């Protein structure tokens, strides 16, 4: 009996330990199931929330952004959380586990405009990489780099030509020569009067500007510099717009846009830093702007925003007219620099200019300033050629960045008749650059922040023009969230879950 009793006690102890182990295992499995269900519910809540991306932004601009205003206007994170929670609760109720939300909220969230639009920029660059592929990206970079170097040099040449005050020196020398000629004529008249001779008349202008002819001038000699100086005082759009081209008169209020108002700020999301892709990213971003936004040759025409959106990014004015004027002026300066450099390197054209300069100097009795007249002629010739170039670009043609002699359009003999030949002498070349190609190069000179802010301005305006979206704000658009939720299991233990989700 003693042995049986000892065995019974031993079995009881062993069974007690085994039962405790089984119960602990069951509880552990149950808690694991609870944790899995809780984690799954929060995942479902975040995925369902971010699945409500702004469909208009995706359709128009291939952007994934969550409108955190829940209807337009200021950010409403309380409503965003309630929306997420509405997807969590049904998952918590799916089995016999008594799960309930104690409290929750967002410990971090990132807006499209945070850190000067870092998330917006990152998403655009990533979209362009995926669209072009590595080979396409490299081809784009090579093409832009070559054009950018040549354009920068051309713009420097144009600035140097203008800053050299060639035409001002020409006018000063001609006025000085006219005054000397006037003094000589007065002395001759005085001498003739004393001797009973006839008087001579002077060729100086009453207004003190460069004289057209002296007393002995050949009336058949036309000085094209005088004509070009008058043309340069005309409005630029009057000169470069092709016939029949209309200009948009749309205006906007910049103070209501991203670049003009105080923006809402998000809360940092741990570990969600955006790496700046550097020069490559900027080229991809500006190519995105060219693809998605309108310009003079491909006007947007959508909604109440500007039609010439790329021109707005370049100039930042609040109306289409001034933005187009600014871009046309930059194109004219670039073309003038390139064309002036071409003339200086072309012996045949230099000889023509030198011969005409000597003729003008001799005709106006100012031979010593033939060199000044020659340089002024070259600058005016480059300007006239540039007017034809920009006019052709705005008409949809193509102009090579650096021309050959065969591609030159305006002869020196026709320079004085420039206004009569604006549309009969210009022509396009198949291997040239289009208006949008020149815009691409101009964009490369703008800083990243300017392109970002003004690009977001144009996108914001476009969405606002849609029905019931007039209060849309990009700084209410969410790109990443870190959610933290406390969930009670079986009315006893509380689990805290922290999860992140972002558009990438």
pLDDT score for 161: 59
Q: What is the pLDDT of residue 36?
A: 85
The CB-based long-range contact list for 421-425 (8 Å cut-off, 24+ gap) reads 422/239, 422/387, 422/388, 422/391, 423/242, 423/243, 423/391, 425/388
pLDDT at 390: 94
CA 83 – CA 102 distance, rounded (Å): 16
What tokens were used for 438?
A: 């020149």
What is the C-alpha to C-alpha distance for residues 97 and 485, in angstroms, rounded to an integer? 17
**Per-residue pLDDT at 493:** 85
What local confidence, expressed as pLDDT, does residue 44 receive? 93
Distance CA 407, CA 386 (A): 13
In the DSSP assignment, the letter for residue 399 is: B
Block mean pLDDT (10 aa), the chain, length 504: 62 80 76 83 93 94 93 88 93 82 92 93 93 85 76 65 62 65 52 48 40 48 85 90 87 92 90 77 92 90 84 95 95 89 90 90 76 88 93 91 87 88 74 90 90 95 91 94 90 87 88
Q: Residue 242's pLDDT is what?
A: 86
Q: What are the phi and psi torsion angles at 188 (to 5°)?
A: -65, -40
Q: What is the rounded distance in angstroms from the CA atom of residue 387 to the CA atom of residue 165?
A: 20
Residue 460 near residue 258 (C-beta atoms within 8 A): yes
For the chain, helix (H) and strand (E) counts, in that order, are 14, 4
Between CA 112 and CA 127 the distance in angstroms is: 15
- The answer to whether the CB of 120 falls within 8 A of the CB of 474 is yes
CA distance 152 to 149: 5
pLDDT of 159 reads 63
Q: Which residue has the tokens 């995706």?
A: 58
CA distances from 103 to 34, 85, 259, 496 (A): 17, 10, 37, 9
* The pLDDT of residue 421: 73
Per-residue pLDDT, 349: 93
Amino acid 199: pLDDT:
40
Q: Give the Cβ contact number of residue 55 at 10 Å.
A: 9
């Amino acid at each position: 009996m003693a042995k049986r009793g000892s065995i019974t006690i031993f079995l009881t102890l062993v069974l007690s330990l085994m039962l405790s182990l089984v119960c602990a295992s069951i509880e552990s499995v149950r808690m694991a199931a609870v944790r899995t269900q809780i984690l799954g519910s929060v995942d479902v809540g975040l995925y369902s929330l971010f699945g409500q991306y702004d469909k208009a932004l995706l359709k128009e601009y291939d952007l994934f952004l969550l409108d955190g205003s829940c209807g337009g206007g200021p950010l409403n994170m309380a409503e965003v959380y309630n929306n997420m929670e509405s997807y969590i609760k049904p998952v918590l109720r799916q089995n016999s586990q008594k799960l309930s939300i104690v409290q929750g909220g967002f410990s971090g969230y990132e807006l499209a405009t945070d850190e000067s639009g870092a998330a917006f920029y990152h998403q655009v660059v990533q979209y362009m990489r995926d669209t072009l592929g590595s080979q396409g990206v490299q081809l784009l970079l090579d093409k832009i780099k070559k054009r950018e170097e040549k354009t920068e040099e051309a713009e420097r040449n144009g600035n140097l030509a203008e800053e050299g005050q060639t035409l001002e020196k020409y006018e000063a020398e001609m006025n000085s020569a006219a005054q000397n000629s006037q003094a000589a004529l007065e002395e001759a008249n005085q001498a003739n009067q004393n001797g009973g001779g006839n008087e001579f008349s002077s060729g100086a202008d009453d207004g003190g500007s460069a004289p057209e002819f002296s007393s002995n001038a050949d009336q058949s000699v036309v000085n094209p510099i005088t004509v070009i100086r008058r043309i340069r005082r005309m409005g630029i759009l009057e000169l470069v717009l092709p016939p029949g081209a209309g200009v948009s008169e749309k205006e906007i209020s910049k103070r209501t846009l991203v670049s003009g108002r105080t923006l809402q700020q998000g809360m940092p999301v741990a570990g969600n830093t955006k790496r700046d892709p550097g020069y490559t990213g900027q080229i991809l971003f500006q190519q995105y702007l060219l693809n998605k936004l309108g310009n003079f040759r491909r006007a947007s025409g959508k909604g109440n925003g500007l039609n010439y959106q790329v021109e707005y990014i370049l100039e930042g004015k609040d109306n289409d007219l001034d933005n187009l004027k600014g871009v046309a002026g930059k194109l004219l300066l670039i073309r003038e620099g390139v064309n002036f450099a071409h003339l200086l390197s072309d012996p045949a054209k230099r000889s023509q200019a030198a011969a005409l300069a000597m003729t003008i100097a001799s005709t106006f009795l100012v031979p010593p300033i033939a060199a000044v007249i020659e340089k002024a002629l070259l600058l005016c010739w480059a300007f006239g050629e540039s007017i034809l170039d920009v006019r052709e670009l705005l008409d949809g043609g193509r102009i090579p960045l650096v021309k050959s002699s065969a591609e030159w359009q305006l002869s020196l003999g026709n320079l004085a008749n420039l206004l009569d030949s604006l549309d009969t002498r210009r022509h396009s070349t198949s291997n040239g650059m289009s208006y949008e190609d020149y815009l691409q190069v101009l964009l490369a000179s703008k800083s990243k922040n300017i392109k970002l802010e003004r690009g977001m301005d144009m996108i914001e305006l476009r969405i606002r023009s849609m029905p019931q979206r007039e209060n849309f704000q990009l700084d209410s658009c969410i790109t990443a969230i870190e959610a933290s939720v406390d969930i009670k299991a079986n009315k006893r233990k509380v689990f805290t879950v922290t999860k992140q989700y972002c558009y990438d």
